[in-house]
Amino acid sequence: MDYKDYYKVMGVERSATQDEIKRAYRKLARKYHPDVNKEAGSEAKFKELGEAYEVLKDPEKRAAYDQLGSNWRAGQDFQPPPDWGAGFEQRGGMPGNEADFSDFFEALFARSAGGARRAGAGQGGPGAQGMHLRGQDHHAQILIDLEDAYRGATRTLNLRMPEVDAQGHVVTRERTLRVQIPKGVRAGQHIRLVGQGAPGEGGAGDLYLEIGFNPHGLYRVEGRDVFIDLPLAPWEAALGAEVNVPTPDGKVALKIPPATGSGRRLRLKGRGIPGATPGDLYVVAQVALPPADTEAARSAYRRQQEDFPAFNPRAALYQGAQS
């Protein structure tokens, strides 16, 4: 079916007030009324105006229509979202001339209205009290420190969020929220704040916060696993040692096996981000050389050169190139 741009039909902006929509309808309805305008196409235009006005004059229907977004163009092929209508509670009937409306209108409103209308028929239940639409869900991102995921935290969040005011205008207001960050939260995970989305007569929508981590000077994060580069002195790497490793949850003693080369990963099981299945913390060895900035230091390196005449750190590299 074709998408209907009701704002274009009425000749108004998406930000138009209810009074502006009413004035535009009255003006165009007089112009295209079949009793006044006998030109071909005037009756179809008049019906199209009635359909557009039926939606835009009703704040709830208008809010529902606006949820489709502003990227659609008149005549573009359109299908309602799979869960469309889940947020509607129809109380009472649609207008009696709904048979004259388009398939587009039928797909958005009459179809969801019919089921509720049938469910309430003859039961003295929901009467003709209008359609109740749940407010739109909002989405935002919040950046936290890695340490917050280990311990949990409370953060203050300032958000500028769109809302619809009493005149039907979309306005942006700043809101301040205190957010509880649960222990064990991961990057990409969503925290749901019930009722903190857009208001609606069927109840406010929810606010979904996507978690991200601030860049850290020590750690890298992959899922629940955490990585840290650990500098080692040449003698620690060669002979083995026990060193303290900083983790987001405090220092941990780690035994370095002898002959540990740069790039070797040593796992601290369960020391990653907490959870039902906690992640691991991987210590990546990086051999650091003492500076050769004094004659004594240079003499020490020359003695090592003499002590290990057969040592060639690139031997494996050359063998791989020849194979």
Provide the total of helices (H) and of strands (E) in the chain, helices listed first.
Answer: 10, 13
- pLDDT tens, position by position, 268-323: 999 999 988 899 999 999 999 999 999 999 999 999 999 999 989 888 887 766 65
Q: Is residue 309 part of a domain?
A: no
Range of the domain at 56: 6-133
pLDDT at 130: 44
Number of domains in the chain: 3
Check whether residue 209 and residue 103 sit in a common domain: no
**What whole-number percentage of the chain has pLDDT above 70?**
76
One domain, residues 30 and 122: yes
Q: Is residue 228 pLDDT above 90, yes or no?
A: yes
Q: Which of 151, 178, 213 is the last residue of a domain?
A: 213
To which residue do tokens 């407010």 refer? 135
Half-sphere exposure of 257 (CA within 13 A, CB side): 10
Domain end call among 213, 237, 255: 213
> Does any domain span residue 129?
yes
Per-residue pLDDT band for 3 (boundaries 50, 70, 90) equals confident
The reply to whether 180 and 267 lie within a common domain is no
- pLDDT for the residue numbered 323: 57
Q: Is the pLDDT of residue 212 over 80?
A: yes
In a shared domain, residues 37 and 124: yes
Please identify, among 213, 244, 273, the residue that sits at the C-terminal boundary of a domain: 213
The whole-angstrom separation of Cα 287 and Cα 243 is 14
Q: 142 by DSSP, 3-state: which?
A: strand
Q: 128 and 72, same structural domain?
A: yes
Q: Does residue 1 lie in a domain region?
A: no
116 within domain boundaries: yes
Claim to verify: residue 71 and residue 108 sit in the same structural domain: yes
Domain CATH code at residue 106: 1.10.287.110
Mean pLDDT score of the chain: 80
60 and 163 together in one domain: no
C-alpha angle 60-66-72 in degrees, rounded to nearest 5:
150
Task: Say whether both 21 and 114 belong to one domain.
Answer: yes
- For residue 323, give the amino acid letter: S
Only one residue has tokens 């060895």, namely 285
CATH number, position 236: 2.60.260.20
Cβ-contact 297, 263 below 8 angstroms: no
Task: Assess if residue 316 is contained within a domain.
Answer: no
In a domain, 323, yes or no: no
Say yes or no: 288 and 227 in one domain. Answer: yes
For residue 314, count CB atoms less than 10 angstroms from its CB and return exposed for 0-12, middle for 13-18, buried for 19 or more. Answer: exposed
For residue 75, name the pLDDT band (cuts at 50, 70, 90): very low
Domain membership of residue 317 (yes or no) is no
What whole-number distance in Å separates Cα of residue 208 and Cα of residue 50?
Answer: 37
pLDDT in tens, 138-149: 788 889 999 999
On whether both 239 and 187 belong to a single domain, the answer is: no
Q: Are residues 13 and 118 in the same domain?
A: yes
The pTM score is 0.56
Same-domain check for residues 233 and 143 = no
Question: What are the phi and psi torsion angles at 174 (to 5°)?
Answer: -90, 135
Is residue 105 situated within a structural domain? yes
Kindly state the tokens that stand for 204.
Answer: 């406010």
